[in-house]
Amino acid sequence: MAPSKSLAGTTTRSWLNTMKETGMDVDTIFSLVHTQLFDAGMKAVGELKERFGEDQPNVKKWPSQTTAIGVIVNRKTLYHRDRGGNPSMYDILVAAGTYRSSLMELPDIDATLQYNPGTVIAICGKVLRHGVKNWEGGERICYAFYCRDNIHHRLNLPRTDWPHLEWYQKYFSRGYLSRQQIA
């Protein structure tokens, strides 16, 4: 196990610095969408920074508690399922750029979501096929933040379960809990 070769270099260091704020926003969403996976990601990233941070300083600048970031620029994304995760792992997809409009399609559940710049979608990418056929105007960028199952496995982190309602009960109002008859 070793960091990606693309992680070396001053260009990457500059990019990692600019992604710091986005990474913090993604982590906030990630921690709410799947608390257990976020915690496992935090352990994984912490261990990777400890193992490789001295030899590769850019590793210490990693901006998120996900173990991978994919960048898609001005490309149609054919329907696909992600190969690197496990079914209960979520991808956090961040739409950016200067384009005006786009749609994220989820054909397995017959859903189409507005996917304009500034949109964030959390999806179980190994379970649901997803894709973007086209967009209108300008540059389209997708930052895909995700966890790689093989990294979690190599670090002996247990596979996470699907999120459970009990994880979120502390955030619910008393009124909501009583209406839903949740203890």
In this prediction the pTM is 0.89
**pLDDT value, residue 150:** 92
Lowest mean pLDDT among 41-55, 82-96, 140-154, 164-178: 164-178
Lowest mean pLDDT among 37-41, 55-59, 123-127: 55-59
- pLDDT tens for each residue of 109-123: 999 999 999 999 999
**Which range, 50-64, 95-109, 152-166, is most confident?**
95-109
**Phi, psi for 164 (deg, rounded to 5):** -120, 145
Q: Please give the helix or strand (H or E) that residue 70 lies within, else none.
A: strand 68-73
Q: Where are the domains of the chain?
A: 7-179
Give the residue-averaged pLDDT of 127-143: 96
**pLDDT value, residue 54:** 85
Give the residue-averaged pLDDT of 80-89: 90
Q: Which CATH class is domain 7-179?
A: alpha beta
> What is the CB-side half-sphere exposure of residue 147 using CA atoms within 13 A?
34
Torsion sign over Cα 49, 7, 57, 122: negative
- pLDDT tens for each residue of 10-27: 888 899 999 999 999 999
**pLDDT value, residue 183:** 57
Helix (H, G, I), strand (E, B) or coil at 146: strand
Give the residue-averaged pLDDT of 47-57: 89
Q: How confident is the model at residue 108 (pLDDT cuts 50, 70, 90)?
A: very high
Per-residue CA distances from 169 to 35, 181, 182 (Å): 12, 12, 8
User: DSSP label at 138?
Assistant: S
DSSP per residue, 79-127:
EE--SSS-TTPPEEEEEEES--EEEEEEGGGTEEEE--TT-EEEE-TTT
Torsion sign over Cα 66, 67, 73, 77: negative
Structure tokens belonging to residue 102:
């786009």
Residue 161 has pLDDT above 60, yes or no: yes
Average pLDDT of the chain to the nearest whole number? 92
**pLDDT value, residue 166:** 82
79 by Cβ neighbours in 10 Å (0-12 / 13-18 / 19+) ranks as middle
